[in-house]
Amino acid sequence: MKLLRRTSQRKKRVLDFTLAAIGLLLAWWIIALAWLAATLNTGRNGFFTQRRIGRGGKPFTLVKIRTMRDSPGLHTTVTRANDPRITRVGRLLRRTKIDELPQLWNVLIGDMSFVGPRPDVTGFADNLVGEERLLLRVRPGITGPATLKYRDEEELLEKTADPETFNRHVIWPDKVRINLHYVHQWSLTEDLKHIWHTVAK
């Protein structure tokens, strides 16, 4: 399995660190403006933090720009396109993916990679069995083949009668399958392709 070889891990980490450092140097002012807009719009800290499961099954704190308000009676982590919790500013930030930029910090410090399986909230990783648990041996990513396939996931969930069930029994297992294929077939070239497709679309 290529990704778990020490030399491959070093190449991937060097790419991650370099791109994250450059990204933060270029985008810090965008992050600052987005943080200010989110703070004013929500009345709370514009940075949203959440515990996610990372490499080795260890939890870490993921950082994003806050795009949602609390809504009484809504406690699901599944988000639909017309979710009433998403603020007006938040919709713009989510559509442009600016809300994801603070994750460059997670990549810089080694919690995440640019490309890899998206980090799940507590509970999903516990459902990985057998070979699926190989996904816990790599750093989670900002983007990847599964993320690109489901880049319109919120719109897809909006069309379902039970988004929570559809996500758990249809989307999540498919993402696991795609991510396992990515891990087995890893190459630096493919990582660069995934990053390009993420930025270009």
Domain boundaries, the chain: 2-200
Residues 144, 182: contact at Cβ < 8 Å?
yes
Q: What angle (nearest 5°) sits at the alpha carbon of residue 35, between those of residues 110 and 12?
A: 20
CA dist 154 to 68, 70, 115, 163, 174, Å? 14, 18, 21, 9, 16
Q: Higher pLDDT residue, 10 or 29?
A: 29
Beta bridge partners of 135: none
Check whether 193 has a pLDDT greater than 80: yes
What pLDDT sits at residue 6?
76
Check whether 131 has a pLDDT greater than 80: yes
Across the range 180-187, mean pLDDT stands at: 92
Across the range 61-80, mean pLDDT stands at: 84
What pLDDT sits at residue 74?
67
Across the range 76-80, mean pLDDT stands at: 78
Check whether 135 has a pLDDT greater than 80: yes
Across the range 50-58, mean pLDDT stands at: 94
What pLDDT sits at residue 176?
96
Q: Is the pTM of this model over 0.95?
A: no
What pLDDT sits at residue 4?
56
Check whether 75 has a pLDDT greater than 70: no
- Joined tokens for residue 137: 């041996």
Q: How many CB atoms lie within 10 A of CB 12?
A: 21
Measured distance CA(199)–CA(201) in Å, rounded: 6
Indicate the average pLDDT of the chain.
91
* pLDDT tens column, 83-127: 889 999 999 999 999 999 999 999 999 999 999 999 998 888 888
CA quadruple 62, 64, 68, 70: dihedral sign: positive
Check whether 72 has a pLDDT greater than 90: no
Three-state DSSP string of 103-170: HHHHHHCCCCEEECCCCCECCCHHHCCHHHHHHHHCCCEEECHHHHHCCCHHHHHHCCCCHHHHHHHH
Measured distance CA(82)–CA(68) in Å, rounded: 12
Measured distance CA(181)–CA(195) in Å, rounded: 17
What pLDDT sits at residue 79?
83
- Joined tokens for residue 190: 């493919």
